[in-house]
């Protein structure tokens, strides 16, 4: 049996393996409050006990090698593979479960648009422009409302809604030399999780994405979670499956294998492809929780099998049960560093009172009128930069209405922010060192949405 590890920033991010990998081990950057719960199901090793500046998988892997934790010929699951990660693996004779994402044309949105058009997959009307030659007046006249987007952006970062020339000037320094300018359309964001294994392309049912939730973020296009309970028409599903097959075949020809994700926009009777991510995607690990709960084959299992050169023993239809569940990601909405005055334990909470009920990390432990707090929860000394994830809410029900949260869940999210008792941090500098001290101006919770 091959030895398989999960490599990541925290145990929550790599927990999928507990559902299907015997003697699973995780090697992670930082300890979080979920570790105690997950250690009942997997071994967890922490590479650094103290906060570090460069939080990435490469540093985790380097430290793991230094500590001799990664044996030869082992297989190591990462969120996104890079050339430098592959170099470390090659030098130490182990394998990475992943492909180097930026080797594939559709990783870049500009090249993705060209590839999609060749496959007769519609993309949002727009054009490729040089930033230095950009004319706000011309683009405004052509599209009325529009967005600009960097080619390698993801998660909503690097995408900007432009409603004035002054705003364009304000964000111009954040843009690459070449950008996409697109018509802005009020559409429903949809995504689908896929996996290439052998000659097959597997894919789940599409799910609604939660984007730019005002309760969770100040960024209009920031990814804030999923609602699997929201209905999607059969027509939209058929189009999503068609795109998954076409993009999967395109990637397969280029040598890709494993998980990839497609982001789409549902507008009237059209589904536009907006993004392709040839890497792990934001549905995980909650998608694995849902598939485990509904006794469905886990897409993540076939991601690992693809790199073990095993053949699939399931079809996409086996992964397309109706699943009721949601995840909501809460971010630091402040423009400053913050920490939390009140530590919320990972586990099961009452929807009505927000009372902590019991430990838990999985949907099987959540009952009616309850929800799960998880997502890699740190203790109160952890510093969150602007736009850092604070935690996730996972529920066994739908949470959205239209393009936002329904009234009930908007209220729960606001109350969770209040309960965290978020505090701003100021930095006081002396001649010899920099000290961090907490400024207590009262909870910021009432100002978080």
Domain boundaries defined on the chain = 4-97, 125-183, 187-319, 326-447
Strand partners of residue 367: none
What DSSP letter does each residue of 45-77 carry, written as one string? EES-SS--S--SHHHHHHHHHHTT-S-TT-EEE
Distances in whole angstroms, Cα of residue 171 to Cα of each of 53, 202, 332: 26, 39, 20
Select from 53, 52, 71 the least CA-distant residue to 5: 71
pLDDT(448) > 60: no
Per-residue pLDDT tens digits for 246-278: 999 999 999 999 999 999 999 988 999 999 999
- Indicate the pTM of the whole model: 0.91
Per-residue pLDDT tens digits for 131-173: 888 899 999 999 988 999 887 776 667 889 888 888 888 888 8
Q: Are residues 150 and 166 in contact, defined by beta-carbon separation less than 8 angstroms?
A: no
Q: Does domain 187-319 have CATH number 3.40.50.150?
A: no
Q: Are residues 180 and 116 in contact, defined by beta-carbon separation less than 8 angstroms?
A: no
Strand pairing category for 25-28 and 4-8: parallel
pLDDT of residue 177: 87
Report the CATH architecture of 4-97.
3-Layer(aba) Sandwich (3.40)
- CATH code of the region 125-183: 3.30.1490.20
pLDDT(73) > 90: yes
pLDDT of residue 216: 98
Q: Which residue has the tokens 């990637």?
A: 251
User: What is the residue-averaged pLDDT of the chain?
Assistant: 91
Token pair recorded at residue 284: 């995980």
Q: Which residue has the tokens 């908007």?
A: 410
pLDDT of residue 439: 46
pLDDT of residue 155: 63
User: Mean pLDDT lowest for which of 43-57, 62-76, 305-319, 411-425?
Assistant: 43-57
Token pair recorded at residue 158: 């690097």
Q: Which residue has the tokens 């392309």?
A: 201
pLDDT(52) > 60: no
Q: What's the full length of the chain, in residues?
A: 449
Strands, DSSP E only, in 31-173?
A: 43-46, 75-77, 95-97, 126-130, 146-154, 157-162
Select from 144, 178, 173 the least CA-distant residue to 161: 144
The whole-angstrom distance between residue 227's C-alpha and the CA centroid of its chain comes to 14
Q: Are residues 232 and 208 in contact, defined by beta-carbon separation less than 8 angstroms?
A: yes
Cis peptide before 271 (omega within 30 of 0): no
Per-residue pLDDT tens digits for 285-301: 999 999 999 999 999 99
């Amino acid at each position: 049996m091959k030895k398989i590890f999960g490599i990541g920033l925290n145990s929550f991010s790599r927990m999928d393996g507990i559902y299907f990998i015997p003697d699973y081990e995780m090697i992670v950057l930082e300890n979080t409050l979920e570790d105690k719960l997950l250690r009942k199901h997997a071994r967890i090793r922490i590479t650094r006990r103290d906060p570090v500046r460069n939080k990435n998988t490469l540093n985790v892997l380097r430290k793991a090698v230094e500590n001799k934790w990664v044996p030869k010929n082992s297989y190591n699951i990462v969120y996104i593979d890079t050339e430098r990660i592959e170099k470390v693996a090659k030098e130490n004779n182990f394998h990475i479960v992943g492909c180097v994402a930026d080797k594939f044309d559709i990783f870049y949105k500009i090249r993705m648009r060209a590839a999609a058009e060749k496959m007769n997959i519609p993309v949002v009307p727009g054009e490729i422009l040089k930033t230095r030659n950009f004319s706000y007046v011309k683009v405004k006249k052509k599209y009325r409302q529009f967005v600009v987007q960097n080619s390698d952006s993801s998660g909503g970062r690097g995408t900007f809604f432009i409603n004035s020339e002054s705003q364009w000037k304000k964000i111009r320094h954040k843009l690459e030399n070449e950008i996409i300018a697109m018509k802005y359309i009020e559409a429903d964001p949809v995504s689908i999780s896929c996996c290439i294994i052998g000659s097959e392309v597997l894919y789940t049912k599409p799910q609604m994405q939660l984007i730019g939730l005002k309760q969770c973020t100040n960024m209009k296009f920031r990814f804030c979670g999923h609602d699997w309970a929201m209905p999607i028409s059969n027509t939209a599903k058929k189009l999503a499956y068609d795109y998954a097959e076409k993009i999967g075949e395109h990637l397969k020809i280029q040598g890709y294998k494993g998980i990839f994700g497609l982001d789409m926009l549902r507008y009237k009777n059209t589904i536009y492809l907006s993004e392709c991510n040839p890497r792990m995607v934001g549905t995980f690990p909650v998608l694995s929780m849902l598939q485990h709960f509904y006794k469905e084959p886990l897409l993540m299992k076939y991601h690992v099998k693809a790199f073990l050169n095993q053949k699939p023993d399931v079809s996409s239809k086996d992964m397309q049960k109706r699943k009721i569940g949601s995840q909501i990601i809460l971010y630091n909405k402040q423009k400053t560093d913050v920490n939390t005055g009140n530590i919320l334990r990972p586990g099961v909470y009452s929807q009505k009172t927000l009372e902590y009920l019991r430990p838990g990390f999985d949907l099987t432990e959540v009952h009616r009128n309850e929800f799960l707090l998880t997502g890699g929860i740190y203790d109160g000394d952890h510093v969150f930069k602007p736009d850092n994830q604070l935690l996730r809410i996972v529920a066994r029900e739908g949470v959205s209405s239209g393009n936002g949260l329904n009234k009930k869940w908007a209220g729960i999210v606001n109350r969770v922010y209040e309960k965290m008792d978020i505090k701003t941090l100021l930095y006081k500098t002396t001649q010899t060192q920099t000290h961090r001290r907490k400024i207590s101006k009262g909870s910021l919770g009432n100002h978080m949405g």
